Structure 1
């Protein structure tokens, strides 16, 4: 079998029974599905029932979302225990059953309703002068050995198990993964034609992002998308743990013919037309005070105080990165910042695994985990010791709250991410944050609808 290319590849086989627009392919196989969507007449405001992806919702934001509307999607993606559970530490199954019950209740009450026809959904986001358009559909799940969907980050068993339990119990894809690809123009033409029509929904979320959604149901349009994707492969931009969830649940149900578990809901964005932003994900070391962190560096690193506020300090980090080499910004949330850079090459050679490409060995995330966290600071990679935050300001606040150390990183270029992924090399988990991320709650996929 010829491995499909991000830009071109061998012609995929066509034909076969099944849903409209679905044929067997050697590349990406995106099928329409009957979307489960909020009925505007049953909720006060569509924006009030949406949420960011589950892994970027902090505790305060979670409470705000829950109180914004009793049907906010966060109640499904981050469910509370069953109201009648009296245990001090309710198990995960209780939370998953609560989410499943809510999902069933909301459908019975007409808060959520399935579209009559299976569709691919054109999804548009506008924010801060950035326009992003892509296709939401049901993607054939394949492991890394197929070379069709490329992960670029490692995953941890605990978050995967959590998502598996939730999807297994609710029997639904509650939020789309974000995948990028580079197409040949056919799918883009379908998207551009769709956005000239009346959207299914329009809403603006509290962050100022404008969202619109259209349905593509015409068989000829669906076939055009299929042909365009047939020799493409995708990079997972956001959703590695949920992709691992798809793979595990597919294996669990492999005895079922034409199983709905063989597919998972994704948003595919052609980054040749709509480049994504890539941001860093920062670390907070809860149990490591900054004085101890700095003292442990010894003579192996250059440490320089840089002036605040945060924006100025991040600019100093960016300037250091332009000069080459590894660099990090440390703060205790006290408006003081230290630029840590120029590591001793002998130290890197002794602590960074040598069995990976040179480009991987010099990634900031690689050096942070292999050299600083594992070797110098000896900080376990567990939720009790390390927090992962997408916003530098949030990391700064969390360090101040806990008395720990925030380690702020500079983002890596998408070209580096894609180059390593195409070699089958994954980066340390939480190395990148691609965006804008799709809002959760605009369309769901129930496996019980097929």
Structure 2
């Protein structure tokens, strides 16, 4: 059935996870060529990964800083395919993926997820995106003609056929590949090619709904890439309904009822806001309490109910809590639900940053630090600014907001454990040959 919003885009009839010909590294040190997701790697991390292995996947996902970086990534990808550093599996498959280690066990399945806009309520975003990262990922994907790392999706599998099969495979079959990364996590991968098993997975998943846990910018890029290619190649509406490579995107799908996610906080650093100025401006609308050091301040933050933030630039920390209710009510947009307006990231984006401190929560003014409060404080100290430390959101808060069709502010959540980049890649040219001119897209195996 054609889309009312765009009749030239095909619409999946449910949650679709299609087999694909995975592209994998054929090297002895598999752990050495993998990396965290691109948005968790800073410049020092890039150098460390490149020192670990000359073929580390970071050369593809973060290929440099100049305008030629996307072409460099494409050339590197083609070189690795031509030389055998990367090889494509012969048979299309979905891949069971397990991460295990101290306090970690997550199993899921990697495949081609059918793309669906949020209005279809098949793949639900919960977080806003920024145009800069989408433009960057779109340039990279369209130039390399590849999905280089999977997004992370959660669904309520309720112990269904897919979850049972995933657990059975992980418990009883030898893995296709296995690698242990320096964080102590073991990564294992199995290819599922049996027609009966693939049919069982497809039947189980179709009526379900998935939440984007990690990869909002990449999913937005998938949709942009789909629109871009459809605009360039489609003629009649009937032809447009035929699925093409860009109607899918690489994704890891995890049953959150079997493997509940770990939701961590994402902290902010404001380089141009000295701590003294931040505190002086906050005292007109927030209760401010001083704590001796970071551990004491974090403990106080954890124990506080309601909106609260811990400010620091090293040394003493300062807890903001109990905002003035009238000022808060006036600042929060009325078109959003009460649940959305109560989120700490919403209050940060709509009240604390613009109304109290006179700035926007954008990429230019605010730096992002995942998980690590000490790293955020170090960055604040080095930049002469202020670290704003947050409590993580609750999973049920995020699910409830997404189910209502709302989006939490950017960088509100960090679900884990995130899939490791480099274990399996996806080409948008499923039958790859060394390029002479740009090869046409070929219809993938179904």
Alpha carbons of structure 1 residues 216 and 294: separation in structure 2 relative to 1, 3 Å: same
Give the distance between the partners of 1:393 and 1:61, measured in 2 at CA. 17
Give the distance between the partners of 2:383 and 2:369, measured in 1 at CA. 14
Match of residue 267 from structure 1: 252
> Per the alignment, in what secondary structure is the counterpart of residue 24 of structure 2?
strand
Match of residue 381 from structure 2: 400
Match of residue 279 from structure 1: 264
**Pair 1:240-2:224 in alignment:** no
Give the distance between the partners of 2:292 and 2:355, measured in 1 at CA. 29
> Per the alignment, in what secondary structure is the counterpart of residue 429 of structure 2?
helix
Answer yes or no: is the 8 Å Cα contact 2:349–2:360 preserved in 1: no
Q: Offset of 1:350 from its aligned partner?
A: 1.3
Match of residue 14 from structure 1: none
The 5 Å alignment of 1:50-89 reads: 50-80=34-64
Query: How many residues of Structure 1 are paired with residues of Structure 2 in the alignment?
Result: 410
Match of residue 202 from structure 2: 226
Match of residue 303 from structure 1: 288
Q: Offset of 1:279 from its aligned partner?
A: 0.6
Q: Offset of 1:442 from its aligned partner?
A: 0.4
Match of residue 101 from structure 1: 75
Q: Deviations over 1:253-300 (max 9, x none)?
A: 222643100000000000000001001100000100000000111331
Give the distance between the partners of 2:186 and 2:295, measured in 1 at CA. 26
Match of residue 166 from structure 2: 191
Match of residue 112 from structure 1: 86
Instruction: State the TM-score, normalized to the length of structure 1.
Output: 0.89
Q: Offset of 1:130 from its aligned partner?
A: 2.0
Answer yes or no: is the 8 Å Cα contact 2:107–2:167 preserved in 1: no
Match of 1:357 among 303, 316, 337: 337
> Per the alignment, in what secondary structure is the counterpart of residue 372 of structure 1?
helix
Match of residue 183 from structure 2: 207
Give the distance between the partners of 1:271 and 1:307, measured in 2 at CA. 39
Q: Offset of 1:413 from its aligned partner?
A: 0.7
Answer yes or no: is the 8 Å Cα contact 2:12–2:114 preserved in 1: no
Q: Offset of 1:311 from its aligned partner?
A: 3.4
**Pair 1:290-2:270 in alignment:** no
> Per the alignment, in what secondary structure is the counterpart of residue 214 of structure 1?
strand
Give the distance between the partners of 1:393 and 1:202, measured in 2 at CA. 32
Match of residue 181 from structure 1: 155
Match of 1:447 among 404, 428, 436: 428
Q: Deviations over 1:113-148 (max 9, x none)?
A: 001111100000013322100000000001011110
Match of residue 16 from structure 1: none
Give the distance between the partners of 1:343 and 1:382, measured in 2 at CA. 23
Q: Deviations over 1:20-48 (max 9, x none)?
A: xxxx963210001110000034xxx1111
**Pair 1:28-2:15 in alignment:** yes
Answer yes or no: is the 8 Å Cα contact 2:60–2:76 preserved in 1: yes
Answer yes or no: is the 8 Å Cα contact 2:152–2:252 preserved in 1: yes
Give the distance between the partners of 2:299 and 2:147, measured in 1 at CA. 39
Match of residue 366 from structure 1: 346
Q: Offset of 1:382 from its aligned partner?
A: 3.4
Q: Offset of 1:312 from its aligned partner?
A: 3.4
Match of residue 152 from structure 1: 126
Q: Deviations over 1:216-259 (max 9, x none)?
A: 00000001100110110000000000000001111112226431
Give the distance between the partners of 1:152 and 1:384, measured in 2 at CA. 23
Unaligned 5+ runs, structure 2 = 2-10, 235-239, 431-443
Q: Offset of 1:80 from its aligned partner?
A: 1.4
Give the distance between the partners of 1:127 and 1:318, measured in 2 at CA. 26
**Pair 1:426-2:407 in alignment:** yes
Give the distance between the partners of 1:231 and 1:307, measured in 2 at CA. 53
**Pair 1:436-2:417 in alignment:** yes
Match of residue 6 from structure 2: none
Match of residue 46 from structure 1: 30
Give the distance between the partners of 2:295 and 2:280, measured in 1 at CA. 25
Q: Deviations over 1:415-442 (max 9, x none)?
A: 1100110100100010010001000000
**Pair 1:312-2:290 in alignment:** no
Instruction: State the TM-score, normalized to the length of structure 2.
Output: 0.90
Answer yes or no: is the 8 Å Cα contact 1:178–1:238 preserved in 2: yes
Bigger drift between 53-62 and 99-108 goes to: 53-62
Q: Deviations over 1:400-425 (max 9, x none)?
A: 11111000000111011001101001
> Per the alignment, in what secondary structure is the counterpart of residue 448 of structure 1?
coil
